[in-house]
Amino acid sequence: MGKSFSKNSTFSSTTSSHTITVSSVSSKPSTTPSIISTNSRSNSFLNKRKSTFSIKSSSKWSLTTSHPKNTPPSNNVLMVSTPNTPSGTPRNLFMDSPDYFNTNNNFCDNQSSEFPSDFKFIDGRRFHNIDTVKYFLPNDEIEMDRLKTYHYLLNNVFQSNFSSPVKEILKIGGTEVLDLGCGPGAWLLDMAETFPKSNFTGVDLTNTLIGNDDMSKNIKFIKGNVLDALPFKNSTFDYIFIRNLSYGFSEQDWKFMINEIIRITKPGGWIELMEPELKARNEGPITIYLNDTFIKDLQSQNIFINITTELEQFLKDTNQIDQVYHDEKLISCGSWAGRLGELACEDFLMIIRAIKPRLSQIIGVNHEDYDQLLQSIPDEMNEHKTSFIHHRFWVQKLFSV
């Protein structure tokens, strides 16, 4: 049965509105530590990653670390009942199948391995080869490396892996957590290591967790497409985390997915979503040219580019949540913003580089000229003080509707 939340665990807010809108963005540099705060897993990964950067570092930092106003503390203690399973007991990958999964769904049919037909190769990069999937970025080791670095970047900018008040129930154990669109599993691995008594499930199109020797025993992976409907029974999870679906969903896809995650969240459970704004702030001419072309191409494929402005309303439209809590952070790009600024600049470059075959054709340049355009972006970002805004939303499912 898992744990249940007490109605008394909800927090009070000083605002009378059901929605809290936060403005925590600042263009001014703030004083921040010169050390990137990570755990042992992320330190090991980032040390290996350092050698791949050619952008010069500086001692300046400009990342905002302000906390949202009128929002609940991130780690409120929630009243919970004692779980039926002993805390810290590792679960078998499919130990809970009869109660956990909706066995009438074909989502889980193909769990064992990836097949050659699942992929296509373009310009030396591996991509998904699924007609119904709009997601266009690669799924090879280079892309997994980018996503891991991006995870540690966001962790430092937001100063946490999550904002939902679930820390105490994760520590107590027996809590069921879903990472939807888990990618290489950076968030999943970090969380499972930090909260070994809780259970973590990752879902994605490709199992990139294979071969992870140090993967915690409290993790399991389900291969599949969320838009085929999730294979879980109603009210399965205490906490659901979702990040970086902006590049692959239409407006209808978002609405379908939101209703699905509401369905599989327990009453009183928490849902958290993180997405970036696709349009940068203070762009230079080359960044504008490439990024605007990229955004227009997304729109031509019916990918919904305005999710950060509409997500709050999509969540409210379910009529199964009360308040929408929202935080946003500015991430500055370039060596002018220090080590994290370098990571943010490199992340943008890796995305634009990954879609070179398509974007170079759209703008009508050969690959060599395209590469030359990319080489100017770090200096341009430093000159114009370019930045992106990242959003985090978290909501609690109502106890009764």
What CATH number is given to the structural domain containing 383? 3.40.50.150
64, part of any domain? no
Pairing of strands 219-223, 199-204: parallel
Name the residue among 131, 126, 94, 89 with its Cα closest to residue 222.
94
Residues 6+ apart with CB under 8 A from 38: 46, 152, 155, 156
User: Helix, strand, or coil here: 310?
Assistant: helix
Which pLDDT does position 206 carry in this prediction? 79
Residue type, 187: W
Residue 83 lies in a domain: no
Q: Residue 182 belongs to what domain range? A: 119-397
Q: Which of 54, 30, 90 is nearest to 349 (CA)?
A: 54
- Domain tally for the chain? 1
Given a contact cutoff of 8 angstroms between Cβ atoms, the answer to whether 25 and 330 are in contact is: yes
Q: Across-strand partners of 326?
A: 393
Which helix (H) or strand (E) is 214 found in, with range?
none
In total, the chain counts a number of residues equal to 401
Has residue 32 been placed in a domain? Answer: no
| pLDDT of the residue at 229 | 83
**Domain contains 54:** no
Write out the chain's pLDDT in tens, 401 residues: 444 343 333 333 333 233 334 333 333 333 333 334 445 555 554 444 443 433 333 222 223 333 343 333 333 323 233 333 334 433 333 333 334 445 344 444 434 344 456 777 877 777 777 776 777 777 788 888 999 999 999 999 999 999 999 999 999 999 999 999 998 899 999 999 999 999 999 998 877 776 666 678 899 999 888 888 888 999 999 999 999 988 889 999 999 999 999 999 999 999 999 999 999 999 999 999 999 999 999 999 999 999 999 999 999 999 999 899 999 999 999 999 999 999 999 999 999 999 999 999 999 999 999 999 999 999 999 999 999 999 999 999 999 75
Any domain includes 3: no
Residue at 265 is within a domain: yes
Q: Which helix (H) or strand (E) holds 272?
A: strand 265-276
Exposure b/e, 256-276, CB count within 10 A at least 16 = b: ebbebbbbbbbbbbbbbbbbb
Residue 9, in any domain of the structure: no
Token pair of 43, please?
Answer: 């330190």
Q: What is the CA radius of gyration of the chain?
A: 21
Residue 37: inside a domain: no
What's the N-to-C CA distance of the chain in angstroms? 20
C-alpha triplet 150, 250, 254: angle, nearest 5°: 75
